[in-house]
Amino acid sequence: MRLVGFTRGTHDVYDKTLKACRMGFFALVFLATGSAFAVEPIMGATPFKPQPDVSILNAGLTVTYSYERYVHVNDIEVLRNPVVGEPLANIAHRTRDGNVLTANQAMLVGAHIRGLIHLETAGTYQFRIESNDGVLAKIGGQQIWIDPEIHGNRWSPVLPLVIDQPGWYELWINYYQKKGTSALQLVWTPPGETEERLVPPAAFGHLESQVGQ
């Protein structure tokens, strides 16, 4: 299994990993040697039902914003003042001082990102997520990653999502940024490939019923 190193100290990673596991956030196996850990294969993702006809899909991902101060991803379970923003072509955001995603401001932003992702072959998809600040992500109803508190730009380890049936899967992301720099990126290595890259816009779509969720 591929390993991902962390620039912070081993004990800091270990403590945060144990804390996350105790809270049920994600299944991690910490490796005693070195400052790296691996994520166990993520099973149980279910295809979206009914599978949508591509003719009714809108391009990209729908996103709803709220402009308040957040310090934990749990703070955005419900957006108190939701505003539907321009859709995201894909998840490839990183800026020093620009607006967050398609929001109209650069700080104090919460976002609900909803839509579908097309996983065209069965097998294991190796995802990674970069975030700044907090993020919670699910695919096909299964949580693939959470990094809930305020932090600078950092990547998740490799997130191996096992897909038994090709098709469209629900993509569900809650994300917030407090102040300063911001980042949210989703990359993958599909089954049978070796090169990691941004998930392309063609892999995303959303239904009208998902707007404003």
* Confidence bin at 144 (pLDDT 50/70/90): very high
Compute CA 87 distance to the chain's CA centroid, rounded to the nearest angstrom: 16
What amino acid is encoded at 80 in this protein? R
Whether 202 and 145 have beta carbons less than 8 Å apart is answered as no
Structural element, H or E, at residue 57: none
Report CA dihedral (189, 194, 198, 204) to the nearest 10 degrees.
-50
> 3-class DSSP state for residue 124?
strand
pTM value?
Answer: 0.83
Q: Domain map of the chain by residue range? A: 1-40, 41-210
pLDDT (tens digit per residue) in 50-101: 999 999 999 999 999 999 999 999 999 999 999 999 999 999 999 999 999 9
pLDDT on residue 111 = 98
**Residue 204 near residue 162 (C-beta atoms within 8 A):** no
Q: How many residues does the chain have?
A: 213
Q: Which of 129, 114, 88, 126 is nearest to 169 (CA)?
A: 114
Four-CA torsion 133, 138, 139, 140, nearest 10 degrees: -160
- Is domain 41-210 annotated with CATH 3.30.70.1400? no
The chain-wide mean pLDDT, for the chain, equals 87
Higher pLDDT, 23 or 122: 122
